[in-house]
């Protein structure tokens, strides 16, 4: 059954990512199921899977490149929105 996560009431994006990682470590959900919930399944639920949610020709190219596993303490190295690089600010 497709499902997605929500960031409602979370103070930061980092908290959202930490919670997704906790679902794997503490909740026992397989990492591939979490990744689907964050990408293609979320897009399907939102009715936007024809445009976003996976890397395919003709879709919007929003991509996050990480060093290490983002859901296990990795860091974001590059972000591309609509195929264009976004400058990351130190936080």
Tell me the β-bridge partners of 63. Answer: 80
Question: Using CA atoms, how far apart are residues 8 and 2, in angstroms rounded to an integer?
Answer: 19
**For the whole model, what pTM was predicted?**
0.84
In the predicted model, is pLDDT for residue 90 greater than 80?
no
38-80 pLDDT tens trace: 999 999 999 999 999 999 999 998 999 999 999 999 999 999 9
DSSP letter at 68 equals: S
Specify whether the CB–CB gap between 19 and 10 falls below 8 A: yes
């Amino acid at each position: 059954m497709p499902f997605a996560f929500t960031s409602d009431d979370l103070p930061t994006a980092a908290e959202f990512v930490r919670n997704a990682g906790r679902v794997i470590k503490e909740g026992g959900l397989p990492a591939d199921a979490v990744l689907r919930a964050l990408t293609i399944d979320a897009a399907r639920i939102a009715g936007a899977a024809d445009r976003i949610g996976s890397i395919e020709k003709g879709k919007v190219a929003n991509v996050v490149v990480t060093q290490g596993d983002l859901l296990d303490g990795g860091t974001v190295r590059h972000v591309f929105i609509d195929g264009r690089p976004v400058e990351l600010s130190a936080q």
